[in-house]
């Protein structure tokens, strides 16, 4: 039997129309365009107005399906990576299934914070390699504005909303997902979290007054670990793929901070012209960041047939991961 690979055969993305610039933030908290630009590389981000995560995910998914020429009723599985689902349950993947009419698909959500898209690619890859499924829709989407504390200048300048989607199918050509490496360390759970609203600390008047439903991050400590973990994730994924850093044509890192991106690229010896950056336009969209960046890299021709792309991410948990794709 010929070896099977999982290939990405269609992509889609959607970001809301509303733009929040650094100048807008200057009017909301004690910050400046200069600080945000220099410390993070972010100039503006997109925020939902009335849209839900399901709305963003549905638009991105329809585009990915059209792009892949796959009918929604032919989908076997929908995975939604998110930390900001529409509600605790049902899963956002079920809500998207209804919207796109994918009545034959199994559905579940996956929580690995900013690394979620790479975790979801890893899961989809296994379902394809095992021969279980033939048409999988992987969505990474976030409405981070719903858990952002707009009074906390150390975090509110960082995040944006958006969604990316890919269709994954088997191929017998040696292309598609070549390797996936996933890692995690729950000892760092307190570094980046939303303390309340779960079963440990259910919503109450007190939790709302203490603003515990918003994201809390130890930014500086997280920064240092992110550089190390993303570098290691890239090295492990490349080694599993039998690909050297010099052979990478396009590095797609999680877009959390331009300084993290530059440090990781330097550590890997990958020149900056090969690194895809869109943090200036969208900020950190958690798991949607890598999915949207992948879409834009393909759209701009930075990734094309034969290109070797390395996707790397890091997020709450902590979680981290890398995925090497031959396009
Ligand atoms: N405007 C102006 N000043 C600010 C702002 C702001 N928006 N935010 C913080 N400051 C101040 C601080 O109060 C501090 O002032 P002080 O020295 O007087 O105390 C100073 O700037 C430096 O603060 P730091 O927190 O040390 O700033 P740092 O250079 O570390 O940048 C940042 C902060 C951007 C958050 C950075 O640490 C970072 O990017 N961390 C990693 C984020 C990440 O990778 N997260 C994981 C993925 S995200 C996810 O999973 C959802």
Q: Would you state the pLDDT for residue 44?
A: 98
Nearest atom within ligand 1 for CA of residue 154:
8
Q: Do domains 5-173 and 178-326 have the same CATH topology?
A: yes
CB 224 within 8 A of CB 191: no
Pocket residue to mutate for ligand 1, from 220, 226, 283, most atoms within 8 A of Cβ: 220
Query: Annotated catalytic sites, by residue?
Result: 114, 254, 284
The token pair at 152 is: 């906390």
CB 108 within 8 A of CB 92: no
The domain spans of the chain are 5-173, 178-326
Q: Would you state the pLDDT for residue 2?
A: 64
**Nearest CA-CA partner of 248 in 188, 202, 308:** 308
Cβ neighbours of residue 229 under 8 Å, at least 6 residues apart? 183, 314, 318, 320
**Nearest CA-CA partner of 82 in 161, 135, 15:** 161
Cα(138) to centroid(ligand 1), Å:
31
Q: Would you state the pLDDT for residue 1?
A: 60
CB 67 within 8 A of CB 12: yes
Nearest CA owner, ligand 1 atom 10: 154
Please give the C-alpha separations between residue 91 and each of 84, 94, 141, 161, 168, in angstroms, as whole numbers. Answer: 11, 5, 13, 18, 20
Nearest atom within ligand 1 for CA of residue 286:
51
Nearest CA owner, ligand 1 atom 46: 315
Cα(40) to centroid(ligand 1), Å:
8
DSSP 323: E
Cα(268) to centroid(ligand 1), Å:
24
| CATH annotation of 178-326 | 3.40.47.10
Q: Would you state the pLDDT for residue 13?
A: 98
Nearest atom within ligand 1 for CA of residue 259:
39
Strand stretches in the chain, DSSP E: 5-14, 18-21, 44-47, 77-81, 106-110, 136-143, 161-171, 176-184, 192-193, 216-217, 250-253, 308-315, 319-326
For residues 45 and 24, give the distance between their C-alpha atoms in angstroms, rounded to a whole number.
Answer: 11
pLDDT in tens, the chain (327 residues): 668 999 999 999 999 999 999 999 999 999 999 999 999 999 999 999 999 999 999 999 999 999 999 999 999 999 999 999 999 999 999 999 999 999 999 999 999 999 999 999 999 999 999 999 999 999 999 999 999 999 999 999 999 999 999 999 999 999 999 999 999 999 999 999 999 999 999 999 999 999 999 999 999 999 999 999 999 999 999 999 999 999 999 999 999 999 999 999 999 999 999 999 999 999 999 999 999 999 999 999 999 999 999 999 999 999 999 999 999
For residues 260 and 97, give the distance between their C-alpha atoms in angstroms, rounded to a whole number.
Answer: 36
As for ligand 1, residues whose beta carbon falls within 6 Å of it are 31, 35-36, 39-40, 113-114, 153-154, 157, 192, 219-220, 222-223, 226, 256-257, 260, 284, 286, 314-316
Nearest CA owner, ligand 1 atom 21: 154
Q: Which CATH superfamily is domain 5-173 in?
A: Thiolase/Chalcone synthase (3.40.47.10)
């Amino acid at each position: 039997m010929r070896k099977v690979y999982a290939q990405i055969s269609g992509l889609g993305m959607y970001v809301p129309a509303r733009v929040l610039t650094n100048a807008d933030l200057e009017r909301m908290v004690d910050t400046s365009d200069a600080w945000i630009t220099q410390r993070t590389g972010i100039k503006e981000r997109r925020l939902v107005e009335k849209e839900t995560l399901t709305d963003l995910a549905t638009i991105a998914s329809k585009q990915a399906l059209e792009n892949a020429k796959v009918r929604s009723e032919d989908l076997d599985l929908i995975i939604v990576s998110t930390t900001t689902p529409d509600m605790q349950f049902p899963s956002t993947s079920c809500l998207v299934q209804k919207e796109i009419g994918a009545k034959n698909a199994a559905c579940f959500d996956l929580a690995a914070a900013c690394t979620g898209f790479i975790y979801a690619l890893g899961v989809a890859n296994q379902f394809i390699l095992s021969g279980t499924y033939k048409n999988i829709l992987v969505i990474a989407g976030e409405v981070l504005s719903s858990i952002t504390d707009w009074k906390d200048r150390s975090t509110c300048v960082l995040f944006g909303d958006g969604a990316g989607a890919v269709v994954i199918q088997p191929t017998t050509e040696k292309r598609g997902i070549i390797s996936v490496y996933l890692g995690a360390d729950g000892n760092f759970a307190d570094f980046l979290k939303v303390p309340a609203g779960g079963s440990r600390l259910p919503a109450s008047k007190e939790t709302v007054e203490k603003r515990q439903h918003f994201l809390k991050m130890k930014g500086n400590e997280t920064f240092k670990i992110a550089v190390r973990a993303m570098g290691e994730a890239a090295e492990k994924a490349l080694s599993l793929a039998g690909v050297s850093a010099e052979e990478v044509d396009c590095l797609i890192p999680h877009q959390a901070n331009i300084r993290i991106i530059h440090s990781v690229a330097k550590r890997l010896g990958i020149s900056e012209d090969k690194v895809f950056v869109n943090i200036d336009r969208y900020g950190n969209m958690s798991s949607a960041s890598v999915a949207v960046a992948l879409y834009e890299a393909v759209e701009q021709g930075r990734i094309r047939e034969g290109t070797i792309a390395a996707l790397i991410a890091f997020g709450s948990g902590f979680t981290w991961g890398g995925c090497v794709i031959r396009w």
